[in-house]
Amino acid sequence: MQVHVRHEGTLGELVRRQPAFARLQHARIAAQDWRYWRRNDGASHSHDLQVVFLGKSGYGKSSLVNALSGLPAMATSDVEACTRVAQSVEYAIRPGNFLSLADLPGLGESQQRDAEYLALYRQILAKADVVVYTLRADCRDYSIDQQAFARLFDCASQQRKVILALNGCDKIEPLQRRASVMPSHEQLQNIERKAADLRRLFPEMPRIVPCSAATGWNLDALSQEIARLLACSPGVAF
């Protein structure tokens, strides 16, 4: 399995944008086999913390990675799938250890592609510390996501890794005419109703973080939840 690295920097670079990841600067990461990656140069390897972003095409996985990193590393589009391969932005914690934010191809284009991508998902989930499954706040039909969940997260050990990121909360009704990072009071009420609906659809997934990659709203809460799960991952010590 290959992951195309779109950006490689230091953890300090990410921390300046998302302070929640500062605690990982002191993390000691065990050299476990499932963490092993051969680097792009082909001559070196690393044992990494892996965060993967999954979900349907058009839900904003790539936009979330870009918003968290502050980089235009991943191509984005509101009308077509941009991610055909696994790609990532990576931050060196120390020599031999990286934090990787990986953006995977999106579901929902066709049955053939879904079968191909689900096979890829299963491979990378075995190496993932955290899974950010992205949903759209203005979507009404989550049947494809429910099918994917049933196939991918069928045991407690996998479910513990998952965060549901409810992206696109700036698009939830009633839309605002003025530009604003913060949703209106009415939008916040509808966001909470949507989160309650998702808890019924995905009862095994208690971690739901509403956010907006477009405005940056609540991305600090998402980064805090990702960092918390990373710190609890097997083989990570402080």
pLDDT attached to residue 102? 94
Query: At a CB cut-off of 8 Å and minimum separation 6, what does 52 contact?
Result: 102, 104, 124, 125, 128, 130, 131, 132
Q: Which domain holds residue 159?
A: 4-237
CA dist., res. 94 & res. 115, Å (int):
37
pLDDT attached to residue 78? 45
pLDDT attached to residue 76? 53
pLDDT attached to residue 41? 67
How many domains does one find in the chain? 1
For β-strands 28-29 and 236-237, DSSP reports them as antiparallel
Residues of the chain with pLDDT under 50: 77-83
Token readout for 190 is 């509808």
Q: Are 226 and 51 in contact (CB under 8 A)?
A: yes
Give me the CATH number covering residue 210.
3.40.50.300
Query: At a CB cut-off of 8 Å and minimum separation 6, what does 201 contact?
Result: 142, 146
CA dist., res. 173 & res. 188, Å (int):
10
* 6-46 pLDDT tens trace: 999 999 999 999 999 999 999 999 999 999 998 876 678 99
Q: Are 54 and 61 in contact (CB under 8 A)?
A: yes
pLDDT attached to residue 75? 61
Distance spanning both ends of the chain, measured CA to CA: 30
